Structure 1
């Protein structure tokens, strides 16, 4: 049987390459696996040879020690792969298919899945609705930063690319379908972005850049991206965004007014989450900053998209309230302005097929927007280190040497 190299979280600031068991169509015991899930049979699953798997900012939260992730948890929820084995209950996905894996694990059978709320499937995580590969408190499904991975409920979950050769030509774009492109798009859609919109995107990391590019795809007239990292702001400008440097002590509304003539926007998206910092040079962590920012600059009646991650357990929180996800949000301001809020995991299957078609027919260039950069799997620790330093890159891991950078 083939070996299986994988990227595992060890301790804050440390990941390593381990050799783990080749996957089975059954959930095995291991780090982070809920005891209720141990031994769970998956005849509806497939084994994938991983073609590409990406490092995500959500992974970085764990690697920084900002969650309760256990040591030796195999990471990775952004997965594209080739089917090498299919379970006896798999009817429509075939060996040899090249597929995108939504990061949400969904059964396709529960009430939420039937309502396309696949980010909060009721049957795959005994702790709470919603699950993902290689993520803390998500049921213990083994991550895909590996050579091989098991995917349950394959007929429901997997998006098959119609032409393998065509897909491999665009694989650096298509690998973004597992998470950040749908997530960024979801944030923009839920914020009401449309033709002629003026949009503020908080955060120029990969999800923020994906949301900015998604806003352009949706017809926004002006996309403004805010961050404190000059390299990431330069990346946003590289594909036509306006930017604001939040190291400045100038109020955000004033910087927006300088760009568009008024201190407010039609739509706002939080792509930062709970590790947000305050504004100004040397500002420290202030986890509610972005939530309060987007309420401040969004016009009355606007919608706010919040794909940025917020957690219920943060050992590194700045105070006891932050450690349980209780933040000082100006809800009164949002109420007074009649704002609506959308939070939670992106339901990837609501968007991934349409975004696949946009990629295959050259309507968007998401890999260029996020500066996709290929690394061999063995270089994942260096990728995590560089990402933590704020490089303006989206790292795509290549476990089998199949990608072209």
Structure 2
């Protein structure tokens, strides 16, 4: 059978392919240390697991669930946004739980994009924005980010381009992979830009509590709900990546469009996961303090490692990665540099080039490994 033409517009996800290679090396006895993936190695809050276990005995636990999530979860999300971002949301109409925010990227795109529509996507940026756009027959329109502009888009330059076919614009602050942060001033500017050009902005915001003293939501800006949605997730903030629990927030009419797609794609999130998510969202700020104390120690060691590799980095960024520029004397591509480290030192990191052409010349280190393992990597580099 011949597959759909859309399959030829994308490639297998880099980590799907590369981790298969890494597992093959491990199977051969190689002591690989993986600093490439942003999958938290720490445990979720104990109360989250307890809530999941306790929920299994509820009458409704094993039935189909609401496409919109149980009311208690939507209320918990709204309360969390009010407490942590000072954003008021109507839990009944402006909140939609998702089975991971990655699901939301597809659902939002399916709700708004027709074949031939254009989508503004950051370079460097999360590859899934491009993949989903192409799968739907829409056209990626990249905007370059660089260190000189603090990895923020040049809206004045963008405004001079033909944006007549642009329907969506993906932004992601705190930014992955660079860790750059956005300000309220920037969010105000991009809301003005979106209104002028009739573009729906989606801020993908899963990293705002990791090594960041001022969590910020685009929805805290006056008028944002008219032209913006925000994705968020429990994956990074609460060490629940495998639970696949996310959410999208915004104006009721936007959420309704997304729900129309979602309700035709799944049959609701498992009840126990929803009950666990509620307990996570109810945690006090002490949880983030404890979590960030661990990540801060790891980050200092990663900075030491990057320095040993003669890479340069910005110490003012946030998130669970360190984005580092390869040394000037390096003559290898990012991928070749990573492969050399993998095969000579049994260490895997991520090449910046997989995030776009603007990522060439950079590498990314994950903080999702123990201090002991990072120290072991440092020892291998020194050796």
Give the TM-score, by structure 2 length. 0.34
Give the TM-score, by structure 1 length. 0.32
| Higher relative helix content | 2
| Higher relative strand content | 1
Structure of greater relative contact order (alpha carbons < 8 Å, 6+ residues apart): 2
